């Protein structure tokens, strides 16, 4: 049975890496099985299709990301402190599984009729809902947020995603110092933008 579990994990790891490297649409089942060193019947034993494989990757990685961020957004506390904590968790979750995070962001940027987009959309939508609820909760203290919580949720997640993409391209996400600076700069910029609104 240990072989069964390790084959499943190997398939998931290889597929995620290939989807990250080449994009979901550019990768075929044959390439996944060749990379994993297994046969097609072995893959189909665990996953009904390439789409089923992506669904599993999104479910496991997406739920993990949403759960960690949700744990923080539901806590009570000072807005600035909580914004810092949410940003820190978001960044550390992304860096902890960078291939998954960048794959998710790229899937959401796919054509809207694409099956990969349709599979990724619920996770991005839930992330925006989590952040909207976070800003709604703090709109009592931060009057600038009132009535525009979803706008700020979208702006905030978009800003973090762009920072992460740029820092990743530069190869700078391996330094803890850079990550801490990224968290501070994101919070500082966002709070400044909030005040100027």
Confidence of residue 4 (pLDDT cuts 50, 70, 90): low
Q: To which residue do tokens 């619920």 refer?
A: 122
pLDDT-above-70 percentage for the chain: 95
pLDDT of residue 22: 95
Q: What is the pLDDT of residues 75-105, one digit of tens each?
A: 888 888 898 999 999 888 888 899 999 999 9
CA 181 from centre of chain: 20
pLDDT of residue 5: 66
Confidence of residue 24 (pLDDT cuts 50, 70, 90): very high
d(Cα 34, Cα 97) in Å, to the nearest integer?
23
What Cα–Cα distance (Å) separates residue 32 from each residue in 6, 27, 35, 60, 138?
15, 7, 5, 19, 45
What is the average pLDDT across 126-149? 86
Between 114 and 36, residue with greater pLDDT: 36
Q: Which residues are CB-neighbours of 195 under 8 A, at least 6 positions away?
A: 144
Q: Which residues are CB-neighbours of 137 under 8 A, at least 6 positions away?
A: 73, 76
Q: Is 190 within 8 Å of 156 (Cβ atoms)? A: yes
Closest to 138 in 3D by CA, of 90, 92, 69, 74: 74
Domains defined along the chain, listed by start: 1-47 (1.10.10.60), 57-196 (1.10.357)
Q: To which residue do tokens 């839930």 refer?
A: 126
Q: Which residues are CB-neighbours of 168 under 8 A, at least 6 positions away?
A: 98, 102
What average pLDDT is seen over the chain?
89
Confidence of residue 2 (pLDDT cuts 50, 70, 90): very low
Closest to 103 in 3D by CA, of 124, 86, 82, 89: 124
pLDDT of residue 111: 79
d(Cα 13, Cα 140) in Å, to the nearest integer?
44
Q: Exposed e or buried b for every residue in 96-124, given b needs 16+ CB within 10 A?
A: ebebbbbbbbbbbebeeeebbbebbeebb
Q: What is the pLDDT of residues 140-150, one digit of tens each?
A: 777 777 888 89
Look at residue 55 and tell me whether its pLDDT is greater than 90: yes
Look at residue 3 and tell me whether its pLDDT is greater than 80: no
E-strand stretches of the chain: none
């Amino acid at each position: 049975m240990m072989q069964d579990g390790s084959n499943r994990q190997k398939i998931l790891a290889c597929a995620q890496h290939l989807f990250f490297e080449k994009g979901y649409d550019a990768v075929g089942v044959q390439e996944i099985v060749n990379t994993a060193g297994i046969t097609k019947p072995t893959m189909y034993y665990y996953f009904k299709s390439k789409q089923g494989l992506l669904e599993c990757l999104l479910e496991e990685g997406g739920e993990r990301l949403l759960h960690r961020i949700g744990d923080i957004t539901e806590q009570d506390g000072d807005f600035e402190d909580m914004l810092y904590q949410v940003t820190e968790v978001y960044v550390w979750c992304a860096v902890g599984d960078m291939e998954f995070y960048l794959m998710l962001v790229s899937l959401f940027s796919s054509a809207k009729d694409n099956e990969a987009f349709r599979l990724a959309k619920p996770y991005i939508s839930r992330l925006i809902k989590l952040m909207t609820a976070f800003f709604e909760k703090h709109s009592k203290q931060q009057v600038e947020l009132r009535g525009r919580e979803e706008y700020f949720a979208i702006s905030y997640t978009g800003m973090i995603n762009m920072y992460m993409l740029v820092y990743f391209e530069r190869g700078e996400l391996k330094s803890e110092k850079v990550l801490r600076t990224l968290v501070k700069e994101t919070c500082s910029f966002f709070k400044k933008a909030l005040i100027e609104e």
